[in-house]
Structure 1
Amino acid sequence: MKVVGLITEYNPFHNGHKYHIEEARRITGADYVIAVMSGNYVQRGAPAIINKYCRAEMALRNGVDLVLELPVCYATGSAEYFAHGAVSILNKLGVVDYLCFGSECGDLSLLQEAVDFLLHPPVDFDASIQAFLKLGQSYPAARQSALTQALQSADTNHSKEILSLLTEPNNILGIEYLKALHSFSSSIKPVTIQRISAHYHDKELSSKEKELYPGIISSATAIRHAIHGNASDEPDRLFDSVPANVFRILEVNMQKTYPIADEDFSLLIKYKLLSEDNSLLSSYFDISSDLADRIKNMADYGYSLSDLAEKLKSKNMTMTRINRALFHILLNIKSEFMDEYIASGYTSYARILGSKKESTALLRKIDSNGTIPVLTKVAKAKDRLSPLEIRMLSEDIFATHLYNHVVYEKYGTSIPNEFKHGLCII
């Protein structure tokens, strides 16, 4: 039995994701595909456009055999935390042979060379980053400047290529996946597939078929823009950019459970900001004392959530970092808890969101080989998890209940809570 693991958001699922699954199977010869997927919140610091159970169904109907939930503390984290949280799950299942991820470059050896450089940087590398931070650069920009400086004097034949890698989001994630595999001394073999067609940040749907794939591949960003732009209409424009079975799920749920947007959480976030003092705010993950002070020093919160984030943004803090910070406050994700999770090996359980009926052999092998409990029912978690693991799971339960309440307030649709919602089985 060969198993390939994928780390995903599927926000929402589209033709590019289907291509990734098909190529992962083809290249690795895998019998089963496991996806570790973000739940109801995603890495850019935002709610998912449609809930995790719908997205799990999309994945299962398009080639994934088992969908596991990435805990919200990692799903809303930077690339490093996102990658380590997900890889730790795949590694502890005891059955995953390959990790297949998309990248803009499609060159595993070059990505690995970048990893080797980052794992063994020059002795003054951290000091160089700090120097650029003091000049007002954001952390990603400061790291890029420090890398440029270091690589100019490094003994490598690919300095320019490595620098170029770190300007593309999927390359950055891929590098973090490789670093995570290294840090866990994992036997999982990495495989990368070059991203084709639409760029990650493209905001317009693609309209031409590509030679490399028979369907139209639009970015998830473009698809979300199209959905929000046509929120009162049938999502016909999406038909060519998503598999037909995904289109049906989107069509059935339109204006019933989705689309969910950042602004739907605006009042909740502003209430939380008003109700806590500086010391409490600075206890949340990704909240510096300086950011906490700036939050409390604002005269009022009479802005949209996007305007509030823009006002909080500074030279050394990106908009994405601000958005993540605001959702960490809302979802009660604290720095001290994250430190404990990391010290315990990141993720210590695997929660199933959905699976195929034909995946019983895979589940039996996980049960036999895995080193972490696999959860199918939240109600039984207390009998299987440690107090620390229960706390992590409780963050997910709270985050999902909050998301479900927003869905109800917006559309009047009740989604069963985490104790009543069954697995997605197809």
Structure 2
Amino acid sequence: METNQSQRKNHMKTVGIVVEYNPLHNGHTYHFTEAKKQTASDAVVAVMSGHFLQRGEPAIVNKWARAEMALHMGVDLVLEIPFVYATQNAEQFAFGSIATLHATGIVDEVCFGSESGDIAWIEKLAAVLAEEPLAFQEALHKGLAQGWSYPAAYGAAIQALFPSPAADALQDYAAEPNNILGLNYCLALHRLQSPMRPTTIKRQKAGYHQETVTDQHIASATALRKLIVDHANDGLHTIRPYVPPSTFEILQAEKTAGRFPLTWERFYPYLQHQLLTRWPGELTAIHEMNEGIEHRILQALPRSTSFDDLVETVKTKRYTWARIQRLLLYSMLNLTRSKMAAINVKQGPAYIRVLGFNRTGQHLLKRMKKTSSLPVITRIAKDKHPMLMLDVQAGALYALGLPETLRQNEMQREYWQPPLHLDHA
């Protein structure tokens, strides 16, 4: 009997999901439940951003707390997206996430949320874009050169590939943030020639960037973070109807410990120091610092009273809020083009970092150590790959946003914190 159970554990169907959980809320619970149900999966592997996120902002609470939220919800194994992918544009973020899931060798399907809820057009378009058609590339560069935002230029470039009216519908679809991510997930699957199958679930009730709450139980993470920041004294209690009880309890514990909430404003003095001590010529060495935007940043800095004020002053149609945030994050971490070249992100992740698991996840982890095409890391050694070194530096940087009494210990947490282990499921 035990042998049969063990065999089932070793061959359980597994779905992968890409998450940030900033913080985990009821909409995420819906996605998790539906992903497992629609794919008829026995287990769920989540690949999650670390301390800094795709839009270039610090997570409102650290990655260990967010991994714990995921495990309490029912995720079986939580892996980390390396910093060099977690804080990049949609294409690189998607590639690093999918490449991590692909490298495990244990994930059968990938399920993501989207505004359309329709996988057919996403797969069709991804198959075309995987060949990198010249007409698309030219249209995309033309849109960007005219000062359009990346989503707008991306949507318009779709029209170069398909005749109207199909192009009009695709342009509208392709300009939505979750649809863009989904499209790039499918692109990554094509480029990796991965056997993992994609599926999607329609996003419910709250838009990705929606800042207002319009439902009694589901709100976007953006809206919840705004409630937390705008209601400094009781912000945590205002989000209680929109998050699982376990999430609320974890956030409450993190707040009591002094580790929640973190925003960009906590890091602004360190960012100011980094920018004020550099000449424009030095800033041009920063990853993705192009077209003289460094001059715009340095001119705005003396007049800006806060981080938000700085970004608002610098941003343009082409340089969106998210893109400016990423540039400022790279500047604070001194992430240069030469460092990125040494890491070579086009080759994919160099390792798989484990953040947490439950009992089922432990079986997955044991299996993954045999099937993975990359080293599986549960403890960080002194000798580190440059990609992992950047994760460690990002962890230490994140600790600077904490109260002074916590910083010393938290700056070393990448070394002393083992993967979380919840003994259920």
TM-score by length of 2: 0.90
Alignment of 1:8-19 (within 5 A): 8-19=19-30
| Cα distance in structure 2, aligned partners of 1:297 and 1:22 | 48
Correspondent of 2:62 among 51, 60, 68? 51
Q: 1:348: which partner in 2?
A: 350
Structure 1 residues 381 and 344: CA distance shift in structure 2, 3 A: farther
Residues 408, 414 of structure 1: 8 Å contact kept: no
Q: 2:219: which partner in 1?
A: 218
Most deviating of 34-43 and 280-289: 280-289
Name the SS for the 2:402 alignment partner. helix
Residues 73, 333 of structure 1: 8 Å contact kept: no
Residues 105, 373 of structure 2: 8 Å contact kept: yes
Name the SS for the 2:64 alignment partner. helix
> Residue type matched to 2:421 in 1?
I
> Residue type matched to 1:424 in 2?
L
Residues 18, 48 of structure 2: 8 Å contact kept: yes
| Cα distance in structure 1, aligned partners of 2:409 and 2:382 | 24
Per-residue deviation at 1:425? Answer: 1.2
Most deviating of 174-183 and 344-353: 344-353
Query: Cα RMSD over matched residues?
Result: 2.2
Structure 1 residues 253 and 110: CA distance shift in structure 2, 3 A: same
Confirm or deny that 1:391 pairs with 2:386. yes
> Residue type matched to 2:396 in 1?
H
Residues 89, 348 of structure 1: 8 Å contact kept: no
Confirm or deny that 1:400 pairs with 2:395. yes
Confirm or deny that 1:375 pairs with 2:377. yes
Per-residue deviation at 1:54? Answer: 0.5
| Cα distance in structure 1, aligned partners of 2:112 and 2:317 | 31
Confirm or deny that 1:177 pairs with 2:185. yes
Name the SS for the 2:354 alignment partner. strand
Q: 1:425: which partner in 2?
A: 421
Q: Number of residues paired by the alignment?
A: 409
Structure 1 residues 50 and 413: CA distance shift in structure 2, 3 A: farther
Per-residue deviation at 1:241? Answer: 0.6
Residues 155, 171 of structure 2: 8 Å contact kept: yes
| Cα distance in structure 2, aligned partners of 1:242 and 1:132 | 39
| Cα distance in structure 2, aligned partners of 1:64 and 1:122 | 38
Residues 270, 301 of structure 1: 8 Å contact kept: no
Per-residue deviation at 1:353? Answer: 1.0
Structure 1 residues 125 and 360: CA distance shift in structure 2, 3 A: closer
Per-residue deviation at 1:204? Answer: 2.4
Correspondent of 1:72 among 68, 80, 83? 83
> Which stretches in structure 2 are left out of the alignment for 5+ residues?
1-11
Residues 300, 313 of structure 2: 8 Å contact kept: no
Q: 2:127: which partner in 1?
A: 116
TM-score by length of 1: 0.90
Per-residue deviation at 1:316? Answer: 2.3
| Cα distance in structure 2, aligned partners of 1:230 and 1:411 | 24
Name the SS for the 2:347 alignment partner. coil
Structure 1 residues 202 and 125: CA distance shift in structure 2, 3 A: closer
Residues 286, 335 of structure 1: 8 Å contact kept: yes
| Cα distance in structure 2, aligned partners of 1:369 and 1:18 | 29
1:366-409 Cα shifts (integer Å, max 9, x gaps): 0111111111111x363xx6xxxx21111111111121121124
Most deviating of 104-113 and 332-341: 332-341
Percent identity for Structure 1 against Structure 2? 37
Per-residue deviation at 1:411? Answer: 7.8
| Cα distance in structure 2, aligned partners of 1:135 and 1:172 | 21
